[in-house]
Amino acid sequence: MAEQLPALILLAPLFGALLVGLAGPRDRRVCFPVVLGALAVSLCSAVGVLVRVLAGGPVDYFVGGWSEPLGIGIQLRVDTLNGLVLVVIAVVFVLVGVFSIRRAGEENTEKSPQYYTLFLLLAVGVFGMTVTGDAFNLYVLVEVSSLTGYALIAMGSSPRGTVAAFNYVVMGTIGASFYLLGVGYLYMATGALNMAQIHEIVATTGAGGSRTVLVAFILILAGLWTKMAFFPLHGWLPNAYGYCPSTSSSVLAPLVTKVYIYVMIRVMLGVFGAEWIFEHVGWTNIVVWLATVAILAGSLLALAQTEVRKMLCYLIVAEVGYMVGGAWLANRWGMAGAVYHIVADALMTLCLFLAVNIIVKRTGRLRMDAFDGLFRKMPLTMAGFAVGALAMIGIPPTAGFFSKWYLLRGGIESGHFEYVAALLLSSLVNAVLFFRLFERAFFGGNPAGGHHPDRTAAESGPTQQGWVGDSTLLGGEARASTLGPLLAAAALVVAVGLLNGPIVSAILRYFENMPVLGAP
Amino acid sequence: MDFLRTSVIPHFNYWIYVILMMIGLWAMIGKNNLIKKLIGMSIFQTAIILFYVSIGVKTGADIPIPAHHAHHDEAAAGAGAREEEDKLDPDAFANPLPHVLMLTAIVVGVATLGVALAISQSIHKDFGTLEEDEILEKIKASTHDG
């Protein structure tokens, strides 16, 4: 049983999706237990695999027992790097699953079984991208997760969301196609599709010097950068995540870009190899500058937004810059920081999106004024939001502080001070953004002051749909099924921050045999 | 002329796929009508399929199916026939792997097109048009009202 765990991570949500798709339309009550059960199996398998990996090294799994010599088997491979990412993905899916118990039915009135089917299929795609050890299989799973992502975004009632989904389809297809083309060139040069085999051929034979491999690398990188919304290829992201249903954005925003960062790191280290990338190709300076521009552009564009959710979307663009830059510093602290930041950023983005989605729903407003006086009205929701925001700014003991610490250390050790400066500046911009919201939440919309008589009347009245029929235990607080995941995510942001030592040392051990990343 | 003889003619399949890809890319970016964009997307994906199919081809090679009797022997005699099959000359057969991969890519392309068409149908329901500039104008107008 234990050796089947890597496959079980994928199979549980796949069969769950089939079950929900078939039985869900007849009886809606089936959906939620199946979704949570399937994701719980994935979570347990992911944790089990990670424990095995930490104890005994990488775990290989050949689907159907078609092992390497034939070269046609699909390999699943779990090591420290993707073991961590798998656990985080599973945690995010479980939390968003709980978050969507009642939300999914409200937002997709007739379509909640379809929503859950797509939700589980997205889990299959994202888990698969993380766990696969085969370059072409990765393309298929990229498309599985992208297609479900397009549908999840287009499900909402907002016409702007639908238009954004269309643009995302076009951009996403261009990105995935470039990746596919790159894999084709790689196959021409090496005759292999298995990542480990390609790596061996590129590293040991003369194939690494060929121009075909270089073209393959450029195409793959261009494709992945489009998919992860690396500035200036970020055009599809803000509207797609800003105008889609809250249940969809809560799962897509924390995961999708981060998983592509992981895929980029996997392609860099596991397919082409660190030596080939940093010594043979050696574009470190250019890419770190691109990342610097991405960080600054994302932060400045976030500053220009008036809607809270879109502001968070531009912050994601900036965060993608952090991680791409960290991975390209050619320094083990930068690389470890990038991997740790995948974990940290997934959790803090989840935290912020859950909080903002709760707040937007309760107040019915998309703009900053939604936050007026919220510390008084929804103290727990705001506490969760505050933890996410402090992590985004980088204040200890949240995970955001430690990931920035490692990224900065990598930047300083490798002498990329432009990246260090951009990181610090972006933290300052985040501080401005979030303290502006905190100020509103503490002091804004004071009913006694009577600054906004019309607004306070609308808030106190029962006309707002969200306020009716909720648990009234905590007054204005959100219902437990949405608040619980938010507080759990906030607790995890702090927990991952406190556990940064063991996590980062496990990641660093992974880079031990890559001398190009610097001596330990 | 020399360029034509040394680079274009021996590699004409790559030139064709690149030209097709650029046509598709141009349609996706430059066309105003959403359906035309999707046609461009299909051309773009088909160009990549053409690329993959052409890399599996070898001059003078046959379809990658061993003669019937060899196959039959394998079922009957097991390992002995497998050895015999190993003696088959790989150069005599086209490489089937890229073609098989493209079966998957075709399915993916169909699924993408289906999702994209469904989304454009929903856009048409919301905006009453499939012309991008008109849609953007309507979005602008609605945000100014709100």
Q: How many residues does chain B have?
A: 146
Looking at the fold, whether B73 and B126 belong to one and the same domain comes out as: no
| DSSP annotation of A206 | G
A174 contacts in chain B (CB < 8 Å): 25, 28, 44
Closest CA to B97 of A78, A71, A190, A419: A71
* Whether residues B115 and B87 fall in one domain: no
Residues B110 and B72 both lie in one domain:
no
C-alpha Rg value of chain A to the nearest Å: 22
CA distance B1 to B5: 6
pLDDT, one tens digit per residue, over A204-229 is: 887 777 888 899 999 999 999 999 98
Q: Does B49 share its domain with B13?
A: yes
pLDDT of A463: 40
DSSP readout, A367-390?
BGGGGTTHHHH-HHHHHHHHHHHH
- For B73-92, what is each residue's pLDDT tens digit? 445 555 554 555 566 777 78
Mean pLDDT, residues A308-336: 90
Name residue B122's amino acid.
Answer: S
Q: Which candidate, A390, A393, A388, places its Cα nearest to that of A424?
A: A393
For B144, other C-beta atoms within 10 Å of its C-beta total 7
Read off the DSSP letter of residue A109: T
Question: What are the strands, taking DSSP E only, across A155-257?
Answer: none
Do B137 and B120 sit in the same domain of this protein?
yes
Quick one: which of A165, A222, A233, A178 has its CA closest to B34?
Answer: A165
In chain B, the largest separation of any two C-alpha atoms, in whole Å, equals 79
Q: Is the pLDDT of residue A467 over 50?
A: no
| pLDDT score of B110 more than 90 | yes
Query: Residue type for A234, please?
Result: H
Q: A348 with A408: CB under 8 angstroms?
A: no
Is the Cβ pair B126, A162 closer than 8 Å? yes
Would you state the pLDDT for residue A461? 40
Q: Which of residues 4-63 of B touch A (CB under 8 A)?
A: 25, 28, 34, 37, 41, 44-45, 48, 51-52, 55
Mean pLDDT, chain B, rounded, equals 82
Asked if A125 contacts A144 with a C-beta cutoff of 8 angstroms, the reply is: yes
Supply the mean pLDDT for chain A: 85
Pair (B49, B109) in one structural domain:
yes
pLDDT value at position A150?
Answer: 92
**DSSP assignment of A19-77:** HHHHHTTT-GGGHHHHHHHHHHHHHHHHHHHHHHHHHH--EEEEGGG--GGGS-PPEEE
List beta partners, residue A194.
A134
Over 60: is that where the pLDDT of A37 sits?
yes
Burial of A450 (0-12, 13-18, 19+ CB in 10 A): exposed
The minimal CB distance from A177 to the residues B48, B101, B116 is found for B48
In tens, the pLDDT along A269-309 reads 888 888 888 888 878 889 999 999 999 999 999 988 888 88
Does B45 lie in the same domain as B101? Answer: yes
What is the model's pLDDT at position A466? 41
Question: Do A188 and B55 make contact, defined as CB atoms within 8 angstroms?
Answer: yes
CB contact under 8 A, A181 and B119: no
End-to-end C-alpha distance for chain B, whole angstroms? 62
Residues belonging to chain A with any Cβ–Cβ distance to chain B shorter than 8 Å = 72, 136, 139-140, 143, 147, 150-151, 154, 159-160, 162-163, 165-166, 169-170, 173-174, 177, 180-181, 184, 187-188, 193
Q: What is the pLDDT of residue A373?
A: 76
Cβ neighbours, 10 Å, residue A217:
23
Does B31 lie in the same domain as B10? yes
Mean pLDDT of A79-85: 89
Structure-block tokens of residue A104: 């999914």
B86 and B101 part of one domain: no
- In whole angstroms, give the CA distance from residue A410 to residue A398: 19
Q: What are phi and psi of A55, to 5 degrees?
A: -85, -40
> Are B46 and B7 within one domain?
yes
Q: Does one domain contain both B8 and B80?
A: no
Domain that holds residue B78: 64-92
Please count the structural domains in chain B. Answer: 2
Give the pLDDT score at A244: 84
d(CA B115, CA A165): 10
Specify the CATH number for the domain of residue B47.
Answer: 1.10.287.3510
Do B42 and B114 fall within a single domain? yes
